[in-house]
Amino acid sequence: SSDLKAVLKTVIPKKLRLFEHVKKDLSSHQIDIQTVGSVIGGMRGNKAMFWDASSVDPNKGVTFHGLSIEECQDILPKSKMELNDPKSELLPESMLWFLLTGCIPSQEQIDDFSKTLAEHAQLPEYVNKVLDSLPKSLHPMTQLSIAISLLNNESVFAKAYERGIPKDEAWEYVFEDVINLISKLPAIVGKIYSNTYYNGKELGVINKDKDWSYNLSSLIGFTVDDSINHKNLSRSQSKDFVNLVRLYCALHGDHEGGNVSAHATHLVGSSLSDPYLSYSAGIQGLAGPLHGLAAQEVVRFILEMKDTLDGEVDNDAKIEEYLWKRLNSKRVIPGYGHGVLRKPDPRFTAIIKFGNNRPEEFAKDRNFQLVKKLSQIAPGVLAKHGKTKNPFPNVDSSSGILFYHYGLKETLFFTVIFGASRSLGPLSQLIWDRIYGLPIERPTSMDLKTLASL
């Protein structure tokens, strides 16, 4: 079937049986030893959440239902328009399908699914109006969370709950909300970009025959046929840009459950807040500089460093000196370190590969070259500095500079694209949370006196 919900229904019974077994037979099984360090240390390393679609191994990085990034790039369907193009990237909607069902979708299923998403892309007028009324100075991430919260007005789950529904039907309404929300993200992203930087000018249109990332790119003005192409991209550059959005969004879709945006979405959803309010909470978390906002911080950092080095970007000693200055002023090196990873982030590697595969664009791009150089020098400096448990680059250290290359230069905007992509995993999990009927999340806190007396 080309209907995602029908496919999901076929996998639910088996999963539910396994879940029931875990719940009934293994609930008292001990997993981890809780320490005071973890209680006061951001619960780091605590295996305390249930998340099915992706996991993060400290050494290997993310896998999606057990598949590596490269395997996903090989197997998951691409745009039907570029089937024979070896540089065409996997589609985020293929990743969404896979994350949600654990099944590899066929090309036909994805062609139809892209269409469904495009058909639901239009924003209600009140959302446009509220976005139009916001001050241009408002951070794009705040605008994003407002737009997503507003859509709670559309929630079929919230309405059904108010009416009264059996618990085991809740997921079906959540499913509808999730698909509706993800469909509308390109239009929200486009509106925020146009309002913040182009006085509300219409930069592109939704093409119902095109995929989600293509439409997102069009709506911010980066395609040749469906938008004003205000960056004057050549056809091949525009194609690259769309593929960058596809790759970026598919890769950033999920990173297990403990990261702030995923965890926040899951936590808020556990109180049966609808998917719009739940994901809006996730977006608020993504807006922090230690999490998603690192994407904007890195680009500013790289540009500043390039200016300061003033033509000496190949000088390793100068780069080292620059990094030490930053560390000695007690600021972090953005794009380095990770809560879980202990090796270079494979998402970083995939994005760098995207640039390396396009030497005609990136061989002479000084920013891109500096990002690569930094990834060789910074780990040594951070290791000598001796604080971070992971001196290697994370995903944010590369992606922004590639967007920048194609003309997306508004750094405050980068995290908004991250925000569109991160919807895939946490919202898929939210559907499963309701399928399993998971309870409200409610850990217990401890006060200092109690901890001190242990």
Using rule CB under 6 A, residue 389 touches ligand AMX: yes
What is the C-alpha separation between 430 and 14, in angstroms, rounded? 18
> Cβ distance 148 to 177 under 8 Å?
no
Using rule CB under 6 A, residue 264 touches ligand AMX: no
Using rule CB under 6 A, residue 256 touches ligand AMX: no
* Least spacing, CB of residue 259 vs ligand AMX, in Å: 6
What is the C-alpha separation between 346 and 343, in angstroms, rounded? 9
Q: Within positions 271 to 300, which residues make up the interface with ligand AMX, using CB under 6 A? A: 290-292, 294
Q: Where are the alpha helices (DSSP H) in 257-365?
A: 260-269, 275-286, 294-309, 316-328, 346-356, 359-362
What is the C-alpha separation between 415 and 409, in angstroms, rounded? 12
Between 187 and 340, CB nearer to ligand AMX: 340
> Cβ distance 72 to 95 under 8 Å?
yes
- Other beta carbons within 10 angstroms of residue 422's beta carbon come to 27
Given candidates 396, 405, 415, 427, which one binds ligand AMX under the rule CB under 6 A?
A: 396
Both tokens of 365, joined, read 């791009």
Nearest to 192 by CA among 226, 145, 143: 143
Given candidates 387, 437, 446, 451, which one binds ligand AMX under the rule CB under 6 A?
A: 387
**230 is known as an active-site residue:** no
Name the CA radius of gyration of the chain, rounded.
22
Using rule CB under 6 A, residue 335 touches ligand AMX: yes
What 3-state class would DSSP assign to 206? Answer: coil
Given candidates 67, 388, 438, 441, which one binds ligand AMX under the rule CB under 6 A?
A: 388
Between 184 and 291, CB nearer to ligand AMX: 291
Residue with smallest beta-carbon separation from ligand AMX: 337
Q: For the window 94-133, what string marks contact with ligand AMX as x by the rule CB under 6 A?
A: ----------------------------------------
Using rule CB under 6 A, residue 339 touches ligand AMX: yes
Largest CA distance in the chain: 68
Residue with tokens 């922090």: 288
What 3-state class would DSSP assign to 239? Answer: helix
Q: Which stretch binds ligand AMX (CB under 6 A): 92-100, 302-310, 334-342, 400-408?
A: 334-342
Q: What are the distances in angstroms from CA 373 to CA 21, 370, 376, 397?
A: 50, 5, 5, 12
What is the C-alpha separation between 151 and 277, in angstroms, rounded? 8
> Cβ distance 148 to 389 under 8 Å?
no
Between 103 and 332, CB nearer to ligand AMX: 332
Given candidates 212, 336, 348, 414, which one binds ligand AMX under the rule CB under 6 A?
A: 336
What is the C-alpha separation between 336 and 318, in angstroms, rounded? 19
* Least spacing, CB of residue 417 vs ligand AMX, in Å: 13
What is the C-alpha separation between 292 and 411, in angstroms, rounded? 12
Using rule CB under 6 A, residue 390 touches ligand AMX: yes
- Other beta carbons within 10 angstroms of residue 48's beta carbon come to 15
Using rule CB under 6 A, residue 332 touches ligand AMX: yes
**Considering 274, 291, 345, 433, which one is annotated as catalytic?**
291
Given candidates 96, 160, 281, 333, which one binds ligand AMX under the rule CB under 6 A?
A: 333
Nearest to 394 by CA among 420, 421, 375, 376: 375
* Least spacing, CB of residue 397 vs ligand AMX, in Å: 7
Q: Which stretch binds ligand AMX (CB under 6 A): 61-69, 190-198, 220-228, 328-336?
A: 328-336
Q: Which stretch binds ligand AMX (CB under 6 A): 48-56, 201-209, 274-282, 384-392?
A: 384-392
CA atoms within 13 A on the CB side of 162: 8
Using rule CB under 6 A, residue 269 touches ligand AMX: no
**Considering 52, 211, 345, 396, which one is annotated as catalytic?**
396
**291 is known as an active-site residue:** yes
What is the C-alpha separation between 412 and 289, in angstroms, rounded? 11
**65 is known as an active-site residue:** no
* Least spacing, CB of residue 294 vs ligand AMX, in Å: 3
> Cβ distance 56 to 395 under 8 Å?
no
* Least spacing, CB of residue 336 vs ligand AMX, in Å: 4
* Least spacing, CB of residue 337 vs ligand AMX, in Å: 2
What is the C-alpha separation between 142 and 385, in angstroms, rounded? 35
Q: For the window 44-83, what string marks contact with ligand AMX as x by the rule CB under 6 A?
A: x---------------------------------------
Binding positions for ligand AMX, rule: CB under 6 A: 44, 259, 290-292, 294, 327, 332-339, 387-390, 394, 396
Task: Give me the active site residues, please.
Answer: 291, 338, 396
